[in-house]
């Protein structure tokens, strides 16, 4: 048993002694003490000091817990890049039909470009929705699509004649590619607007019609 841990009441007392309310109360209590030494508090000096301390404790701003610090967008993209490498290793071990494998190659290539360190990820970092979409694709949608295909394919062999799992996989990968392509298009449009804005700025600066 650890006997070095302070009791909870002692912890609460220590927290109060360090609190804003106690510090503000002590500050006004010192004012009351100064009034007492100056002879202005009279016989009621204990009540003056106690009253000023209480007033200081009441007007002090309440304590608030520190806001939690979460990873910034750059750190999130670094982690996402590591997760994408893990996903790539998993996909290298699965056997996919040629059409789906081709769509997956296109999808992975696009995601790799979007996660390439440099100005692309700098632009991506300021769009939390885009980061969320890529995170969902890498950590959930792509592995789920491939794993579901593998499991469904096994059951289809036992029960032929049902809808082809290959077709579902191709459609899923196609939809995921469209989502990633929409992110790339949005980033390209942002850069295009930035270029146009700079052109207008130079034209206005030089008095161009």
Report pLDDT for 9.
Answer: 64
Predicted confidence at residue 50, as pLDDT, reads 79
- Tell me how far the alpha carbon of residue 134 is from its chain's centroid: 13
The pLDDT value given to residue 114: 92
Q: Name the residue among 74, 141, 133, 70 with its Cα closest to residue 104.
A: 141
- Residue 123 has a pLDDT of 84
pLDDT along the chain (209 residues), means of 10: 53 66 74 73 71 74 62 78 94 91 95 88 85 94 94 73 83 96 91 89 81
Number of H helices, E strands in the chain: 9, 0
47 token code pair: 């009540």
Backbone angles phi, psi at 72, to 5 degrees: -75, 175
pLDDT in tens, 160-188: 666 788 999 999 999 999 999 999 999 88
DSSP secondary structure string for all residues of 150-183: HHHHHHHHHSTTS--HHHHHHHHHHHHHHHHHHH
pLDDT given for residue 1 in this prediction: 45
Distance CA 107, CA 134 (A): 11
- pLDDT recorded at residue 31: 77
pLDDT at 72: 64
């Amino acid at each position: 048993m650890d006997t070095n841990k302070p009791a909870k009441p002692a912890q609460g007392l220590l927290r109060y002694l360090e609190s804003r309310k106690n510090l503000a109360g002590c500050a006004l209590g010192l004012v009351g003490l100064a009034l007492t030494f100056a002879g202005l508090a009279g016989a009621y000096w204990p009540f003056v000091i106690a009253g000023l301390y209480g007033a200081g404790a009441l007007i002090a701003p309440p304590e608030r817990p520190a806001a939690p610090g979460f990873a910034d967008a750059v750190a999130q993209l670094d982690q996402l890049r590591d997760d994408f490498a893990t996903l790539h290793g998993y996909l290298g071990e699965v056997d996919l039909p040629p059409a789906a494998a081709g769509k997956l190659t296109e999808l992975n290539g696009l995601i790799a470009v979007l996660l390439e360190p440099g100005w692309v990820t700098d632009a991506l970092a300021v769009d939390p929705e885009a980061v969320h979409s890529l995170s969902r694709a890498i950590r959930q949608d792509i592995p789920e699509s491939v794993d579901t295909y593998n499991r469904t394919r096994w059951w289809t062999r036992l029960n032929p004649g049902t809808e082809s799992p290959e077709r579902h996989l191709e459609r899923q990968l196609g939809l995921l590619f469209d989502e990633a392509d929409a992110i790339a298009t949005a980033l390209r449009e942002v850069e295009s607007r930035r270029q146009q804005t700079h052109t207008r700025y130079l034209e206005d600066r030089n008095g161009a019609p």
